[in-house]
Amino acid sequence: MALYSVPVLILKEGTQRTVGKDALRANITAARALSELLKTSLGPRGLDKMLVDSFGDITVTNDGATIVKEMEVQHPAAKLMVEVAKAQDAEVGDGTTSAVVFAGALLAKAEELLEQDIHPTVIIDGYIKALNKSLEVLEQIAKRISSDDRSYLSKAVSTAIASKYVGRGTIAEKLTELAIDAALAVAEKKPDGTFDFLVDNVKIEKKKGGNVTDTQLIYGIVLDKEVVHPGMPKRVEKARIALLDAPLEVEKPEISAKINITKPELMKAFLDEEANILKNMVDRISEVGANVVVCQKGIDDVAQHFLAKKGILAVRRVKRSDMEKLERATGGKIVSSVRDLKPEDLGYADLVEERKVGNDKMVFIEGCKNPKAVTILIRGANDMVLDEVERTLKDALNVLRNVMRVPKILPGGGAVEVELALALRDYATKIGGKEQLAIEAFAAALEEIPMILAETAGLDPLDTLMKLRKLHAEGKVAAGIDVINGKVVEDMYEINVVDPLLVKANIVKSGCEAAATILKIDDIISASPLKKEKEKEKEKESFKESEF
Ligand code: ADP
Ligand code: MG
């Protein structure tokens, strides 16, 4: 006995520990708080959140990913939910609100099961069975489309952007068309007939001013730069473009060197020498046949002058990412020393031109060697509008990538969730036991989505759910909620509300994973924050001092 009488401390002083059910309950509460917050943003009638960051910058949006990114979440379990949203965003670029809301609903149902003394591992096992069954059913009910079928592509886009405040009406139609044109331009056909493209290949530029309807698609690259020297041409056809990541400047020595100039002639010789170096650089550029220079670094005044004399159009301090896009678009190669520049390194474009956009000038590079490079130039009255249009377009492009990659769609507006729930309840009875309860809980969690959509549409959630269950039991797989007109419809395809299979599958997957992760935790051990310890030390010191 004596052996045990000495308490053994394995944790540092100040460490907080919460164990077992208390830990679980604390985590569930925190995670649910986050999903409760996002709930009201779901769907086309979802409300916006206004977020103010620590610098006082304001973001107004109902985009789930943006909301959780901007929020500075403290609680570790809530942070896990933020990770879900981020992962969902990174993987499929849409469905973030749904994923968090679904994870929250799964946790709420789990809490009820925990109250009935069902062990977390049983719940997790049941949830995973339900997930696998759901993925199976999703595949079965998904409708196959052709990857480049504009009518379906536009339905999927309009459903995805419906919740943005530029997501409906003529503006939305215009943005949808732009996104589809851009996607079809950059997409590459794979042997199996599907398409794929990198969303990043569609460059997005924003310029304040004008109207959102002035937003345009340019088959080429737009640089937010102006031509560096007034003596240069503003328009070059059949452009041969040098892509430089070296400065057209005489490099200053790294260490501060001192040059003693004793005679005025020497001063002139020194400056002449500098000019000479620059002139040689420009001569080299012109010799290889370039008539446009795009430089990642600076271009010295003297070099600008020489370039202008040769009739070469030049832009400077171009972003690295733009340089890389230009490399791909024009077929050129980024060269890091003018001396190494060769004719085959030059890129080609039919036209390089500086144009006025609003109050600024931008350089347009069109008719590139590789037509798979396009830019969408967003216009709008202020930064908030520009940002929201950008998010909307990114969503649209992501959806397009998803349906082009896996050309299968599902009915939206809660139809899929009700259908899944129906199939799961049937499946649960076959499994039986305590896991049956977990599978049924999973089904009920899925139904949260149509219930929330019903609420945002001004309908009674329970009443609507009952109607939908009845329709689905009668075999109406696509019955869902028309949120805009506030009514239950028998065929979501008919009112053009469809979601990509890839997004829906990812929502159930990531929601379930998040819930399972949180349910597995039975012990929270949190070290006391560093700052507090330092403060404590300070307190001790000041206490010591005051003793004297
Ligand atoms: P998420 O971040 O999860 O993508 P959204 O706010 O984009 O959240 O909402 C997506 C949900 O809204 C999907 O379930 C989709 O089917 C549904 N939805 C979109 N437009 C409509 C509509 N007109 N009627 C009913 N449901 C819609
Ligand atoms: Mg969405």
* Amino acid identity, position 263: K
Q: Using an 8 Å Cβ cutoff, are 107 and 84 in contact?
A: no
* Protein residue whose Cα sits closest to atom 26 of ligand 1: 413
Considering every ligand atom, which ligand is closest to the CA of 494?
1
Q: Using an 8 Å Cβ cutoff, are 193 and 147 in contact?
A: yes
* Amino acid identity, position 192: D
Burial 391-402 (b: 16+ CB within 10 A, else e): bbbbbbbbbbbb
- Ranges of beta strands (E only) in 82-215 are 143-144, 188-189, 195-196, 202-208
* Protein residue whose Cα sits closest to atom 25 of ligand 1: 413
The pLDDT value recorded for residue 187 is: 87
CATH 1.10.560.10 domain extents, the chain: 15-144+411-526
The pLDDT value recorded for residue 254 is: 64
Report how far ligand 2's centroid is from the alpha carbon of 28 (Å): 25
Q: With a 6 A CB cut-off, is 482 part of the ligand 1 pocket?
A: yes
The hierarchical CATH code for the domain 220-370 is 3.50.7.10
Can you tell me which atom of ligand 1 is nearest the CA of 158?
Answer: 20
**Residue 299, SS3?**
strand
Q: With a 6 A CB cut-off, is 89 part of the ligand 1 pocket?
A: no
CATH 3.30.260.10 domain extents, the chain: 161-214+377-406
Q: With a 6 A CB cut-off, is 481 part of the ligand 1 pocket?
A: yes
* Protein residue whose Cα sits closest to atom 1 of ligand 1: 95
Q: Using an 8 Å Cβ cutoff, are 254 and 417 in contact?
A: no
Homologous superfamily of domain range 15-144+411-526: GroEL-like equatorial domain (1.10.560.10)
Considering every ligand atom, which ligand is closest to the CA of 39?
1
The torsion angles phi and psi of 364, rounded to 5 degrees, stand at -105, 130
* Protein residue whose Cα sits closest to atom 4 of ligand 1: 95
Q: With a 6 A CB cut-off, is 97 part of the ligand 1 pocket?
A: yes
**CATH 3.30.260.10 given to domain 161-214+377-406:** yes
CB atoms within 10 A of CB 380: 23
Task: Give the span between the Cα atoms of 45 and 485, in whole angstroms.
Answer: 10
Task: Give the span between the Cα atoms of 252 and 249, in whole angstroms.
Answer: 9
Report how far ligand 1's centroid is from the alpha carbon of 484 (Å): 11
Task: Give the span between the Cα atoms of 88 and 102, in whole angstroms.
Answer: 12
Q: Using an 8 Å Cβ cutoff, are 62 and 163 in contact?
A: yes
pLDDT in tens, the chain (548 residues): 455 566 676 767 667 777 777 778 888 888 888 888 888 889 888 887 777 777 778 777 777 778 877 777 777 778 888 888 888 888 888 888 999 999 999 999 999 998 898 998 999 999 999 999 999 999 999 999 887 788 888 988 988 888 777 767 888 889 999 999 999 888 888 888 788 888 888 999 999 988 899 999 999 899 999 999 999 999 999 999 999 999 998 876 666 667 677 777 887 887 788 888 899 999 999 999 999 999 999 999 999 999 999 999 999 999 998 999 899 889 999 999 998 999 999 999 999 999 998 888 999 999 988 777 889 999 999 988 899 899 899 989 999 998 888 889 999 999 999 999 999 999 999 988 889 999 999 999 999 999 999 999 999 999 999 999 999 999 999 999 999 999 999 999 999 899 999 999 999 999 999 999 888 876 666 666 665 555 555 655 555 544 44
CATH 3.50.7.10 domain extents, the chain: 220-370
Report how far ligand 2's centroid is from the alpha carbon of 193 (Å): 26
Residues 6+ positions from 104 with CB-CB distance below 8 Å: 31, 32, 34, 35, 36, 38, 39, 81
CB atoms within 10 A of CB 491: 15
Check 97, 176, 215, 456 and give the catalytic one: 97
Considering every ligand atom, which ligand is closest to the CA of 168?
1
Can you tell me which atom of ligand 1 is nearest the CA of 99?
Answer: 3
- Residue 160: how many CA atoms within 13 Å on its side-chain side? 35
**Residue 202, SS3?**
strand
Residues 6+ positions from 18 with CB-CB distance below 8 Å: 26, 523, 524
Can you tell me which atom of ligand 1 is nearest the CA of 163?
Answer: 6
Report how far ligand 2's centroid is from the alpha carbon of 13 (Å): 46
* Protein residue whose Cα sits closest to atom 3 of ligand 1: 95
Residue-by-residue DSSP string for 351-399? EEEEEEETTEEEEEEEEESSS--EEEEEEESSHHHHHHHHHHHHHHHHH
Q: Which two tokens stand for residue 359?
A: 């109050």
CB atoms within 10 A of CB 410: 26
| Catalytic site includes residue 96 | yes
Strand partners, 237: 351
Q: With a 6 A CB cut-off, is 159 part of the ligand 1 pocket?
A: yes
Strand partners, 493: none
The pLDDT value recorded for residue 547 is: 43
Report how far ligand 1's centroid is from the alpha carbon of 231 (Å): 53
Q: With a 6 A CB cut-off, is 95 part of the ligand 1 pocket?
A: yes
Closest by CA to 296, choosing from 272, 271, 325, 339, is: 325
| Catalytic site includes residue 340 | no
Dihedral angle at the C-alpha atoms of 337, 292, 233, 354, nearest 10 degrees? -110
Q: With a 6 A CB cut-off, is 43 part of the ligand 1 pocket?
A: yes
Task: Give the span between the Cα atoms of 412 and 374, in whole angstroms.
Answer: 30
The torsion angles phi and psi of 520, rounded to 5 degrees, stand at -80, -15
Considering every ligand atom, which ligand is closest to the CA of 411?
1
Q: What is the DSSP letter of 55?
A: T
The pLDDT value recorded for residue 83 is: 85
The pLDDT value recorded for residue 548 is: 42
| Catalytic site includes residue 63 | yes
Which of 81, 164, 399, 453 to mutate to test ligand 1, by most ligand atoms within 8 A of the CB atom? Answer: 453
Q: What is the DSSP letter of 223?
A: E
Burial 134-164 (b: 16+ CB within 10 A, else e): bbebbeebbeebebbeeebbbbbbbbbbbbb
CB atoms within 10 A of CB 528: 13
CB atoms within 10 A of CB 230: 9
The pLDDT value recorded for residue 311 is: 94
Q: With a 6 A CB cut-off, is 163 part of the ligand 1 pocket?
A: yes
Closest by CA to 363, choosing from 178, 233, 248, 200, is: 233
Burial 2-31 (b: 16+ CB within 10 A, else e): eeeeeeeeeeeeeeeebeeeebbebbbebb
Q: With a 6 A CB cut-off, is 94 part of the ligand 1 pocket?
A: yes
Q: Using an 8 Å Cβ cutoff, are 251 and 303 in contact?
A: no
